[in-house]
Structure 1
């Protein structure tokens, strides 16, 4: 069997969120399907090859070499022009790890589509304009044209059925690499801190967290405790960046860090706060738990699925974040984790046997 894989996240400089999810799944594919051939379909040069360090893997990378095609967005290229390349190979499946399907494929090629979230329908005001336009153009078409659909959580599966009256074929949840995300004793700082990890963008709701933190500080709480923010700068973030600079004595902004550094930060935080308005799953809460860090996060089904029992769930406005932090540091609430809530990559990836028959 030949599986074509369109994964534009592999072309990005850094792997975050969906990029990491796709990469971790792909690098485990050969162990599940040792006889299969994998063909990575690329618009531009890929920067992260999941098969690079694996031996005896049948893999090809087919890239768009027509220079004029590099001038158009990847989504448009894949939708309207990639079939000219794909049809030259005897492919059984095209796996669209981004929810866009190509037109003009040979009839025998089946389309598998990943669906991560329903931002367009739930929180459209938090999307960048170009992203929103792309989803309006291609998202519904991808779902309707898919032969099989993969989702990342039961919450996402439920919304797929609610919005499109379609059932997901399989749920493959994100997991964590426990060889990296484990308790690290070495402290990154000589002060106590609250940690939050996310791209700084509207949906992640970092502004509410900062407002809650500063309000507590002004009331004389959280003495000798700082707020550490980790993640790329994102978009529509000028106000948050301004607040970080204004309160630079109390807020540390690291930007993007390595997984090893991230594990150290999780392990030694007093508490991890993830106040996102909406998520399709929520990898950071899983990473934090894996490192033994208490989690305060948003009370939605997708994050409950990611975090399980023992986390502190809230409505993520300033007042509720503030109350949760005060209650936590006043020892009125605490996390009670259970070891049975462990999601393993190998277990999740094996579910692909239900897709690629």
Structure 2
């Protein structure tokens, strides 16, 4: 008989069951409480019941769990220092969407050598999230593969659906069943239509194909997620973080019956791919906060121990410790200054509201 299947497949390897990984790396009561409480605080910010701002900050992607943990130890001190003004959540990204080709992230290729040891990647990812939670540091991520949430979503407080996947029905369905607030990024062309459609779709119930905790193929039924919101990340036409862009986006959301409160991504097209320009974007947001903007819920910042980025060298011993291998980041000291100015703006805004 003529072969009609697996013509381009060379191998299939069994995937560890989510239940088994959870058994090997269980979430503690303290970590579960941190996740649940952080999600609640983010929702309160989203619905303007908490006047603080949400800050999603950390490496563009995690490739070295030791460096990420060290970064987390620095960040948790800033989280504590600015807790009255900011809800700081560490950006812990394990999956990278690719426009063409490139390294797809720690879960897909944890050893950076093309061995694609995904089972090891899932274990490394889950352990890092638990270690950060034990520090008292909640985590945010972008969920790219719809199977991944079964392994790590219980330790995630906020999720992004990226510019390339916001249009995807699969990701909208997945978002409808996730347990945390979700930021939908505007499309790479800068338009808001796909993100607002995604927010609407994800807020509704869905039935779709997935896996259960035992790793069995399953039909997943969801209730819909009411806590979607827009993330402005700029686009091909340029940045969209100015007060005019924020006002226009809020009005668009209101017309569609969606929550008009939104987040600004200081990186990506808003910074024109120049990591140093994140400071400029943040300063603009600071001004908007001081002027009493009612639409901003927070910001995203790409930040690591060392500024800039680096290609993956053939000799992995030559990797610069604490520097991104994907998008360039600001360093942790610059990050501290950015957070300080944002916290000060929130404080001044609160005082102004108090005087009135």
Alignment TM-score, normalising by the size of structure 2:
0.28
User: Could you tell me the TM-score, scaled by structure 1's length?
Assistant: 0.28
Structure of larger gyration radius = 1
